[in-house]
Structure 1
Amino acid sequence: MRKNPLKSSRSSVNVIKSNKYDDEEALSTMARSVSMQTAGSKQRLIAEEILRHGNARAAGEVFNFRELASATESFNPELLIGEGGFGRVYKGHLKNTNQTVAVKQLDKNGVQGNREFLAEVLTLSLIHHPNLVNLIGYCADGHQRILVYEYMCNGSLEGHLLDLPSNKKPLDWYTRMKIANGAARGLEYLHDTANPPIIYRDLKPSNILLDAEFNPKLSDFGLAKLGPTGEQDHVSTRVMGTYGYCAPEYAHTGKLSKKSDIYSFGVVFLEIISGRRAIDNTKPTEEQNLVAWAKPLFKDKTKLTSMVDPSLEGRYPVKGLYQAVAVTAMCLQDEASTRPLIADVVTALEYLADENANDENIDDEINIAVDT
């Protein structure tokens, strides 16, 4: 019998660093240009904070507005593939490289959009990982703030998991575990390999994008925050993110840490298991908050199967479910210090995503009770 994967450790991959003068100079010029145009002291502080670390790489190609208007047929509404609080995302085609891309046009009238733009470009200049979306380039012409990403043909996890139309095939159990594992790997890179560490701060199904093989990539780094260094275990900041996913200590005090991301991951993993939204006002009152509904069920193993997405029609390994719920419960601990490290979550999910693992050998002797 294998030992409990949550008790094993995982080493981080080597960080990819670039100290080339031209990379730093390109980023510095872009940051100063955008900061001056937006006249925002907070944007300048973000730029200076990131550029101080000196391990950034060039953040992709610089596009002009005309190129991106051409790529999206003048931002044709028929090419709209997503819409969020800060702007709209269009499917585009770059003629010079014959490449299909996702073009995110931020709200040019919003200060928050300017801040998100700079934070995202500079954050993505520091990081590179298979489970993080790749930024191809950006446009900062006049008041235009546009980001260009690799195109993910299967859209977001939200589109394959929540409120699924009757003609769409639901994700099977192992694809769900594979997606959870990949999302956790992306977080592991941000927390344990990026230098300085990065707190994602906005983990939710709509920000987990899927390629042709349903490999996940975290996207939308506009709310990402450089993590604490030295003796500090948190940073204090204005509470931002999406209701239903914020860790209780962050929502109440503004103290943000890596463990805040772990809580958000627990909410998303619970959505993956249950097929329910974190907040769903169409449900009966006692079921509208997913975490509040699920926590009492964690304590009774006989009730765990009632949490599973009905669209799976019972096609899942029962002991694998027990282990998955155990991971979720530990991530959703009220006390941040008692939540697991992301490396241990990844180790557990690698095991759960393995279709060849013998369900009989999964260690189900786990205390899955949580504080309520």
Structure 2
Amino acid sequence: MIDLPEFLTQKKILREEGIIACTKSGQEAYGEDCYTKRYSKKKVIILAVGCLASAFIIASSISLYALLKRPIRSSTLDPDRSDSRGTMSFQKACRTRLFTYRELEEATKGFEEGQKIIDDINGMIHAGVLGDGSHVAVQKVQCENERDLMLVLSRVEVLFTVAHRNVARLLGCCIDSDYTPLVVYEFSANGNLEEHLHQEGGRKRCLDWDRRLKIAAETASALAYLQCEISPPIYHHYLKSNCIFLDQDYSVKVAGFGLLNSSIRDGSCLGHNFESSYFSRGDVYDLGVVLLEIITGSRHVDLPTMALTKIRNGKLEEIVDPLLYYHEQPPCCREQIEIVADLVTRCLLFGGDGRLVMVDVARELVHITKQNLDDNNGRVPALQETFSNSSLLQMISMSPDSIYAP
């Protein structure tokens, strides 16, 4: 048994000497043994806090890494790229309507093959119907980089300002897809010139010579206007009969412009600083091919070479579209076909070296058409409306408001 007085005396001595006494596990403990439990608790707390901090840092690092490595969706533009800032600026300052990709995808039935009306170096064009019932033509322009994209969008802005009766109205564009802007034109359910010349798309009515001549004159006049009265000039770069839309009155609506200028007839790549006059001469040659197609009703790949040979040898009647019944036409119409054939020859031979320009082609076609109107005493109302209230010069290149009276 412990002697109580002695125990109290020892405890007093320990306190006086600064030694702490305590009870631990039912027994007396002294000095450092009394600090063991407190020290352990503090150590556990420090370790716990350290572990939590480390876990937070690791989790934050993993989250940041995953965020940086997350793939960028194709429908967005990289905001860190300097050129993307230009695209964002375009979106803010754009005067055209900005369509969504989904909106145009639904209009064209997912850009299905059956909706395609053009597929050439200027891009694919699909016909479609918007939710409000408007018929549109959607042109896909493939760009290689942001610079090309901005070039296309700047030309879209220029085309948007054109208000000419024979140029398809540009409704807007879509830039939701990287480097593949979609340009939206108005489109008539009456189709395009190619369909009518070749009886495609269920077309039953053949274009007579009067309508074909009117289409030729309106097409040339629209191109001359774009090249002479718009600054900077607008060139088509690859005119074909399927780019000439026709409304219910068979009036021309030129569309499908080469907005990038990256290639021409032979598919070769050209720099953006290539002389614009080259493209002007290219348009004249292309119009000559279209005029030849109007005369022959054919789109044979060797048509220009074959036709030039026939025309030079005085055998024009052998290549005239059988549906025109050349030998049954009145003398004035046969003469007009011969004059246009001669113009075709000059377009093909001299359109490539600049000796024949678009305004000269338009002047001749308008002159022939006005004569045709006079000879028929106004038999074709559409021609009367188009040409009767303007001079020849106005019809070719002046303001469209003065050319086409309401």
Shorter chain as denominator, the TM-score bin is: 0.5 to 0.7
CA contact (8 A) 1:131 1:218 kept: yes
> Counterpart of 2:363?
347
Secondary structure (helix, strand or coil) at the match of 2:373 reads coil
* TM-score normalized with structure 1 length: 0.63
Query: Which is higher, the Rg of structure 1 or of structure 2?
Result: 2
Return the offset for 1:168: 2.3
Distance, in Å, in 2 between the alignment partners of 1:219 and 1:341 is 20
Amino acid at match of 1:348: E
CA contact (8 A) 1:278 1:290 kept: yes
Secondary structure (helix, strand or coil) at the match of 2:130 reads strand
> Counterpart of 2:209?
173
Amino acid at match of 2:185: Y
User: Is residue 188 from structure 1 mapped to residue 224 from structure 2 by the alignment?
Assistant: yes
Distance, in Å, in 2 between the alignment partners of 1:124 and 1:218 is 12
User: Is residue 213 from structure 1 mapped to residue 249 from structure 2 by the alignment?
Assistant: yes
Distance, in Å, in 1 between the alignment partners of 2:139 and 2:241 is 21
Distance, in Å, in 2 between the alignment partners of 1:208 and 1:273 is 16
Return the offset for 1:146: 2.7
CA contact (8 A) 2:284 2:351 kept: no
Return the offset for 1:145: 3.1
User: Mind listing any 5+ residue stretches in structure 2 that lack a counterpart?
Assistant: 1-74, 269-274, 377-406
Return the offset for 1:239: 4.1
User: Mind listing any 5+ residue stretches in structure 1 that lack a counterpart?
Assistant: 1-32, 52-56, 226-237, 247-252, 280-288, 360-372
Return the offset for 1:77: 4.2
User: Is residue 327 from structure 1 mapped to residue 340 from structure 2 by the alignment?
Assistant: no
Distance, in Å, in 2 between the alignment partners of 1:304 and 1:348 is 20
Amino acid at match of 2:265: G
Higher relative contact order (CA 8 A, sep 6+): 1
More helix by share: 2
Cα distance per residue 1:251-281 (max 9 Å; x no partner): xx998242221111111101110111151xx
Return the offset for 1:110: 7.0
Return the offset for 1:182: 1.0
Return the offset for 1:126: 4.8
Distance, in Å, in 1 between the alignment partners of 2:136 and 2:201 is 24
> Counterpart of 2:373?
356
Secondary structure (helix, strand or coil) at the match of 2:291 reads helix
> Counterpart of 1:222?
258
Return the offset for 1:197: 1.6
Return the offset for 1:358: 3.6
Amino acid at match of 1:104: V
CA contact (8 A) 1:330 1:338 kept: no
CA contact (8 A) 1:190 1:199 kept: yes
Alignment of 1:282-361 (within 5 A): 289-301=302-314, 303-314=315-326, 315-316=328-329, 317-334=333-350, 336-337=352-353, 339-354=355-370, 355-358=372-375
Distance, in Å, in 2 between the alignment partners of 1:203 and 1:73 is 23
User: Is residue 241 from structure 1 mapped to residue 265 from structure 2 by the alignment?
Assistant: yes
Distance, in Å, in 1 between the alignment partners of 2:237 and 2:287 is 10
Amino acid at match of 1:118: L
Return the offset for 1:151: 2.1
